[in-house]
Structure 1
Amino acid sequence: MSNYAKKTQEHWQSEEPRQSVQTVIVHKAKISFGEMTLLLVLALLIAAVGVKIVSNQSAIYDTNKEIQKIEGSIDEQVKINNDLEVQVSELSTYERIWKKAAELGLMLNENNVKVVQE
């Protein structure tokens, strides 16, 4: 080999291999106008459904509160009615009626009593 060939060979061997630079191209995913519109409509629909659910729950809560108030007043009225029934049964005893009739001057005449059958 000639001297020149040897130098060239040594030159190629001593030289570092060249590094190739690769550029990476990043493609951004573009959202089209139609897709953006659909996403907007979907977001609005989800928000509307959420508001509707919350308003329904609020109405249910108010109705249940009203029902409980009415049930409380019904229980009170039942107690009052039971007390009045007890009072009526106490006031309508035969002894009390005879006593009141005697105070008013009424007397029992058996000839004026008629038996009524139902």
Structure 2
Amino acid sequence: MSNLARNFKQQQQQEEQIVQDRKPLKIKKSWLTPGEKIIGVAFAGLVCFGAVHLISNQSQIYQINKDIQKMDDQVKEQQKVNEDLKGQVSELSRYERIYEKAKSMGLMLNENNVKVVQEK
């Protein structure tokens, strides 16, 4: 056998070994199609948008409730002030006090000149 034949035989054996050593290529298939991925991303986006919108609305509701509570407190405080002022009005409009003030200013009570007014 000539050197050329020997080289050719060795080359064929190497090629056979290389072919045998190669494993069949596995084609990696993704478990989601591109359409399903797009739908998934769109759904995730909608869920995130909904969550942000919900949190925003809850924050606004909380702020409005806080404002309502402040207003209620102010109304209660004003009602207390009004009740105190009504008490002062009733105290200052007592007959005895008015009579004393009139007497100190020099006014005299003339019973013939007094007219009684009754509320219906």
Q: Distance in 1 between matches of 2:96 and 2:112?
A: 21
Q: Distance in 2 between matches of 1:94 and 1:116?
A: 15
1:102 alignment partner AA: K
TM-score (structure 2 length as normaliser) = 0.70
The match for 1:57 is 58
The match for 1:106 is 107
Per-residue deviation, 1:115: 3.0
Structure 1: which 4+ aligned runs deviate by more than 6 Å?
A: none
The match for 2:74 is 73
Per-residue deviation, 1:106: 1.3
Q: CA RMSD in A?
A: 2.0
Aligned residues: 95
Mapping of residues 34-45 of structure 1, within 5 Å: 34-45=35-46
| Structure number having the greater helix percentage | 2
Per-residue deviation, 1:31: 2.0
Per-residue deviation, 1:26: 8.2
Over the matched positions of the two proteins, sequence identity in percent amounts to 51
The match for 2:21 is none
More deviation in 104-113 or 68-77?
104-113
The match for 2:98 is 97
Partner of 2:78: helix, strand, or coil?
helix
Q: Which 5+ residue runs of structure 2 have no aligned equivalent?
A: 1-23
Q: Which 5+ residue runs of structure 1 have no aligned equivalent?
A: 1-22
